[in-house]
Amino acid sequence: AQSVSQHNHHVILSEAASLELGCNYSYGGTVNLFWYVQYPGQHLQLLLKYFSGDPLVKGIKGFEAEFIKSKFSFNLRKPSVQWSDTAEYFCAVNDNYQLIWGAGTKLIIKP
């Protein structure tokens, strides 16, 4: 079965810094990949998704992610973070109609 690793459990950045959050899944083939975000006190919302095609996908709020098949990775990036990006970020991969989740990365942006 699939597994998902998110390497950084806590990340602290200053506003305007660049962000990259790592996500690796355990085996290849056709994969459907997701990043979800959970703002403080809120439910999970879809940030972006990859199904096929262009490996660089753009999501909401200036986020993007790059699917690198050879590295089994789907890293999340943002060139310049804002205080409002403070949240927990989860990577997930679809495996037989179940989403397999990473443990999450808590991102804190210092104003």
Partner 1 sequence: DADVTQTPRNRITKTGKRIMLECSQTKGHDRMYWYRQDPGLGLRLIYYSFDVKDINKGEISDGYSVSRQAQAKFSLSLESAIPNQTALYFCATSVGLRNEQFFGPGTRLTVL
Q: Which residues bind partner 1 (CB under 8 A)?
A: 9, 32, 34, 36, 42-46, 49, 51, 90, 94, 97-99, 101-104
Look at strands 10-14 and 105-110 and give their pairing: parallel
Q: Kindly calculate the radius of gyration of the chain based on its CA atoms and give it in whole angstroms.
A: 13
Nearest-angstrom CA–CA distance, 105 and 77: 13
The least CB distance from residue 51 to partner 1, in Å, is 5
Alpha carbon separation from 18 to 31, 59, 66, 98, 109 (Å, rounded): 27, 16, 15, 32, 11
The least CB distance from residue 15 to partner 1, in Å, is 25
For residues 17 and 94, which CB has a smaller minimum distance to partner 1 in the complex? 94
The least CB distance from residue 99 to partner 1, in Å, is 6
For residues 32 and 82, which CB has a smaller minimum distance to partner 1 in the complex? 32
